[in-house]
Structure 1
Amino acid sequence: MQTSWLTAEQYAHLSTQVQGAFIAPLPAFQILSISGPDNLKYLQGQSTCDLTQLTADNFLRGAHCDAKGKMWSIFHVFSHADSLHVIAFRDELVASTAQWQKFGVFSKVSFDATEGRYAVFGLGGVGSEQLVTSLGFSLPATDGQLSRHDDATLLRLAADHYLLVMPQHKAQQVMQRPLPFAAPNLWLKAHILQGFAYLEQPLIGELVPQMLNLQAINGISFTKGCYVGQETVARLKYRGGNKRAAYILTADTDEVPVAGSDIELQLENNWRRVGQVINAVNINNQLWLIALLPNDITPADILRLKSEQSIVLQQLPLPYSLT
């Protein structure tokens, strides 16, 4: 892995064996800066979250949808000086940026991909509070809150689960410190276990927000004004119709299925395709994934990953309620 702030040698030395608190470079997550006098108004009409609720001390989780309510991206957004900074996985950020730029010509708004300016880290693990304070940050009080220090911003996604954004030259300095550095997979495993997902290329433009539980993790406002895709999103809430949700699964295997891989349900002596992989990570031959499945699935149902090995999957509880 080679970026302007993380060398191949540094990346090669990152480990999944870190115990306790860790900090993981996340070069696959990037920042889009949206500026201009209409930036807040423009993004308000392009996202499921309510930008009027954004303050200097919080961030918002949201989705960007097309006119049919299918998601281009799931993102986190916070204010930075006179700009809005959007954090997302690179595939979905590229997709959303292209759409935002296309329609942004009618507003006083500009977009800067910042690829060479900002770096993203993931923090987590038991005892992460001490790691946060050792980096100079005060602890965000609750999920959805942020802390700022020396032009860097720390976002608390959940307990012991953070995103850290900073200028790349400061990230290079951080990489020289004696810190518990970990491979991105360790943070991604924690992300999955929190019931959070992001969109990889095969699934961009395919799913509505409720399919990935955004209504349960403060990713949708049902009281804000109009936005692109709102009709579909609101109809699914008030009239029903969404029959799928995201669930956490695990298995003993060395495989790492790609996004979109089929998941099958056993029905007597037969198997039927019922879902697909959203994100997956494998650490020490233990597979962890978040998957799209029927929302009436139960832990008693027998599921498998469709592959040559026919890997049986175990369902784990979500850390939040879907009702």
Structure 2
Amino acid sequence: MNLIWQAYLRNRGAIIQDGRVVDYGHNAAELESTRSATVVSDLSHFGLIQFSGEDAQSFLQGQLSCDVNQVNASAALYGGYCNPKGRLLASFLIWSQSSSNGGGYVMQLPAELGLGIQKRLAMYVLRAKVKLGDTSDIQIRLGVAGDDAEALVRKNLGQIPASRLGVIQGESASIIRLAQNRFELVVAPEKAPAIWEGLSKDAIPVGASCWDWLEIKAGIPIITPATQEQFVPQMANLEAIGGVSFQKGCYPGQEIVARSQYLGKIKRRMYLANIRPRVSENPVEAGDELFGADMGEQSIGMVVNASPSPDGGFDVLAVIQTSSVEAAVVHWKSLAGPSLEVTPLPYPLS
């Protein structure tokens, strides 16, 4: 996290641990506000990798699951980076940026994965004219969400993208529309305080876990160290949110990803659910295994992401064997553990 920005947020009541805003002293109230009001959140818990140089587009096209040719000054994409076995090493949001901000492409992913993914991708640059750099502290990212988010962003920045994953590169900030009522602003550090002040007049500042909850409810998978190399992209519904292209050329794991799509039904899919642990039990976390009576002691799935729910317990994204969801109650951690209440995702699955 940018140290000057960190000091600024602390002066406004933020409790920060390991570069992540925990909350502003009112965790439960902030979570309820995220459901019912308009909120603003610092997104420094995500890292940024910048790719610049004349071969940046072709290099990324040969490494990532999404069609990088569709990423331009006005359009962002979700995507995945796989190992040769087609298992996700990272999921991300990628956009291009104006030359005034250094040009090239920016990949946003969890900060704890940034250095490792950057080093791995750098191994494959070879003779390509591409430079990779960590720009996490050079650009401040703010999230705005809620019924009044569109009006609030327009009020403070003058314009907004019209469509989902649309981008506007403005003088004060780049604006990415994540959903109808959810936006990300990418801001230069020197401009961030003024924009934060303007937004926080009408939006409630909330911690990173509140933004995590919004991502979960939107069905956006975020691969973390606990879930690296566990899922092919379709298991995490990445193709359903535009993160996989089946028309582009090769990339690591592409043959397995394509075979999973065309030569058989995906046996595991990502579901949205709620889990209510007992008071004596630990919180639900990414990487926790799931079980069902139909498979006995054999795991039938894994939690991808989890966050406290304003309705109680934890809302989760979980990859689960589809036959088990249809045939049996799914349990957290063991057959004796709390059951999952599966709810509809906000997008269809093929």
> Is TM (by shorter chain) over 0.5?
yes
Cα deviation 1:161-208 (Å, max 9, x = unaligned): 222222223223334443421122222111111111111102112321
Relative to structure 2, which stretch is displaced further, 307-316 or 157-166?
307-316
Instruction: Select 1:190's aligned residue among 190, 214, 235.
Output: 214
CA–CA distance in structure 2, aligned partners of residues 297 and 144 of structure 1? 34
Q: Which runs of 5+ in 2 are unaligned?
A: 16-23
5 Å-filtered alignment, 1:215-230, equals: 215-230=239-254
Instruction: Determine if contact 1:263/1:274 at 8 Å carries over to the other structure.
Output: yes
Relative to structure 2, which stretch is displaced further, 216-225 or 50-59?
50-59
**2:303 equivalent to 1:277:** yes
The structure in which a higher percent of residues are strand is 1
Superposed CA RMSD in Å reads: 2.4
SS in 1 for 2:204: coil
Q: Which runs of 5+ in 1 are unaligned?
A: none
CA–CA distance in structure 2, aligned partners of residues 118 and 156 of structure 1? 17
* Number of residue equivalences: 322
Amino acid at match of 2:6: L
Instruction: Select 2:191's aligned residue among 164, 170, 176.
Output: 170
CA–CA distance in structure 1, aligned partners of residues 150 and 124 of structure 2? 41
**How far does residue 2 in structure 1 lie from its aligned partner after superposition?**
8.3
TM-score, structure 2 as length reference:
0.84
Instruction: Determine if contact 1:37/1:108 at 8 Å carries over to the other structure.
Output: yes
CA–CA distance in structure 1, aligned partners of residues 108 and 81 of structure 2? 12
CA–CA distance in structure 1, aligned partners of residues 188 and 329 of structure 2? 47
**2:156 equivalent to 1:156:** no
Amino acid at match of 2:5: W
Cα deviation 1:272-308 (Å, max 9, x = unaligned): 5311111100145431110110123447732221279
SS in 2 for 1:103: coil
Instruction: Determine if contact 2:300/2:324 at 8 Å carries over to the other structure.
Output: no
**How far does residue 227 in structure 1 lie from its aligned partner after superposition?**
1.7
Relative to structure 2, which stretch is displaced further, 308-317 or 235-244?
308-317
Q: 1:305 to 1:293 in 2, by over 3 A?
A: same
Q: What does residue 271 of structure 2 align with?
A: 247
TM-score, structure 1 as length reference:
0.91
CA–CA distance in structure 2, aligned partners of residues 3 and 294 of structure 1? 44
CA–CA distance in structure 1, aligned partners of residues 306 and 3 of structure 2? 23
**2:161 equivalent to 1:140:** yes
Amino acid at match of 2:211: W
Instruction: Select 1:205's aligned residue among 217, 229, 233.
Output: 229
5 Å-filtered alignment, 1:258-273, equals: 258-267=285-294, 272-273=298-299
Amino acid at match of 1:276: M
Cα deviation 1:187-236 (Å, max 9, x = unaligned): 21111111111111021123211110011111111111222221111111
SS in 2 for 1:164: strand
**How far does residue 50 in structure 1 lie from its aligned partner after superposition?**
1.1
SS in 2 for 1:104: coil
**2:87 equivalent to 1:66:** no
Q: 1:313 to 1:219 in 2, by over 3 A?
A: same
SS in 1 for 2:78: strand
CA–CA distance in structure 2, aligned partners of residues 134 and 96 of structure 1? 37
Instruction: Select 2:255's aligned residue among 231, 240, 248.
Output: 231
CA–CA distance in structure 2, aligned partners of residues 22 and 246 of structure 1? 27
Amino acid at match of 1:40: Q
Instruction: Determine if contact 2:305/2:316 at 8 Å carries over to the other structure.
Output: yes
Instruction: Determine if contact 2:90/2:224 at 8 Å carries over to the other structure.
Output: no
Amino acid at match of 1:48: S
Q: What does residue 14 of structure 2 align with?
A: 11
**How far does residue 24 in structure 1 lie from its aligned partner after superposition?**
0.8
Instruction: Determine if contact 1:299/1:315 at 8 Å carries over to the other structure.
Output: no
Q: 1:300 to 1:121 in 2, by over 3 A?
A: farther
Instruction: Determine if contact 2:291/2:334 at 8 Å carries over to the other structure.
Output: no
SS in 2 for 1:173: helix
SS in 2 for 1:155: strand
The structure in which a higher percent of residues are helix is 2
**How far does residue 147 in structure 1 lie from its aligned partner after superposition?**
2.2
Query: Could you tell me the percent identity over the aligned residues?
Result: 26
Instruction: Determine if contact 1:192/1:248 at 8 Å carries over to the other structure.
Output: yes
Q: What does residue 126 of structure 2 align with?
A: 105
Instruction: Determine if contact 1:123/1:187 at 8 Å carries over to the other structure.
Output: no
Relative to structure 2, which stretch is displaced further, 200-209 or 42-51?
200-209
CA–CA distance in structure 2, aligned partners of residues 305 and 109 of structure 1? 44
